[in-house]
Amino acid sequence: MALNLQTFKTRTLTALLFVMIMLSGLLINQWSFFILFTLIHFGCWHEYQQLIKKIYPPYNGIGWVHEYGVMFLGWCFMVWRFHNPFPLGQVTMYGLGWYLFLLMAVFLMAKEIVFKKEIDLKIIGYSFLGLIYISLSWSLMMDIRIGFWPVAGSNNVQIFPGLAIVLLLIGTIWINDTMAYLVGSFIGKRPLSAISPQKTWEGTIGGAIIAIIVATFLGIQFTGISLNIAWGITIIATVAGTFGDLLESKLKRMAGVKDSGQIMPGHGGFLDRFDSLLLATPIVWLFLWAMSEFPL
């Protein structure tokens, strides 16, 4: 796959704008982080539903209550996991999110049972998969960001803020995507998968090796994360991120579209941009939970 300079220029310029927006949301404070991922959450949901409508045409008939209600249900789960440190008066985000989640879940179930002549289990299944694929992932991202993770070392317990984990996770995926594209453009010959023929084995392996080494080094130097945790996060991010990319490519192929959306020239839509992170986040969360001295 030869390097297309015009495509690379477009991708680079839009990527720089994207990075500035992302870093602002990630670094300003906890509320900017929540707002950033709220926008990402609804953007991913919109594109996911558009793909499902092409994959399974009856999904077009779900109606606006179901369409937006399931998005809001997933967002309530995010609010629940963005919990106690940020009270609104006497109401915590934890409590608000949990009660809204329960109310919305009951409302949507009642709506399907009472107002639908027939219950289409495939429609419900696709919406449920969206909750797992999108809302659960971003909810666990809230968990990682808010947490202070106690990780057992050889003789002591290290504690570091969740923001360091988030930055290492996202940084690894960015490096991996960029290096895989560059390495694949110059020396890539063997397609990785029929699902995504532009990706090559050379680009995937080369990008992963570079990302793991560089991101691990930067993580240790600038965040204070221990070597074993940094290795674990970077390896998970590269491997799971690649599978996340292939999963979204499979959905697009089933829907018969090239990109999930058009928010970024050269990069596609929300799902195109965050597909790797969607799959890597819950696995990193499980890794941190397994490495933690105290259960969550």
Residue 55 has pLDDT above 90, yes or no: yes
Per-residue pLDDT tens digits for 93-121:
777 888 888 999 999 888 877 777 788 88
**Quick one: pLDDT at residue 4?**
57
**Residue 191 is assigned to a structural domain of this protein:** yes
Question: Would you say residue 150 has pLDDT above 70?
Answer: no
> What is the chain's Cα-based Rg?
20
How many domains is the chain built from? 1
> Please, what is the angle between helix 137-146 and helix 63-81, to 10°?
20
Name the 3-class secondary structure at 119. Answer: coil
The per-residue pLDDT for range 269-280, each reduced to its tens digit, is: 999 999 999 999
> Is residue 50 one of the residues assigned to a domain?
yes
Give 231-270 pLDDT, tens digit per residue: 999 999 999 999 999 999 999 999 999 888 877 666 679 9
CA distance 196 to 103: 40
> What is the spatial distance between Cα 269 and Cα 42, in angstroms, rounded to a whole number?
12
On the question of pLDDT at 161 being above 70, the answer is yes
What pLDDT, on a 0 to 100 scale, did the predictor assign at position 237?
A: 96
Q: Within a domain: residue 296?
A: no
- Best-predicted range by mean pLDDT among 6-15, 210-219, 221-230? 210-219
Average pLDDT over residues 42-70: 95
**pLDDT value for 196:** 77
Identify the pLDDT of residue 263.
Answer: 77
pTM over 0.85: yes
Specify the amino acid at residue 144: I
Output DSSP code: residue 86.
S
Q: Which domain holds residue 241?
A: 5-291
Helix (H) or strand (E) holding 150: strand 148-152
Report if residue 243 sits inside a domain.
yes
Q: What is the pLDDT of residue 136?
A: 96
Question: Does residue 251 contact residue 279 with C-beta atoms inside 8 Å?
Answer: no
Concatenate the DSSP letters of all residues of 21-39 into one string.
HHHHHHHS-HHHHHHHHHH
Asked if the structure places residue 129 within a domain, the reply is yes
DSSP sequence for 152-205: E-SSSEEEEEHHHHHHHHHHHHHHHHHHHHHHHHHH--SEEETTEEEEEHHHHH
CA angle 274, 79, 68 (to 5 degrees): 70
The pLDDT assigned to 93 comes to 76
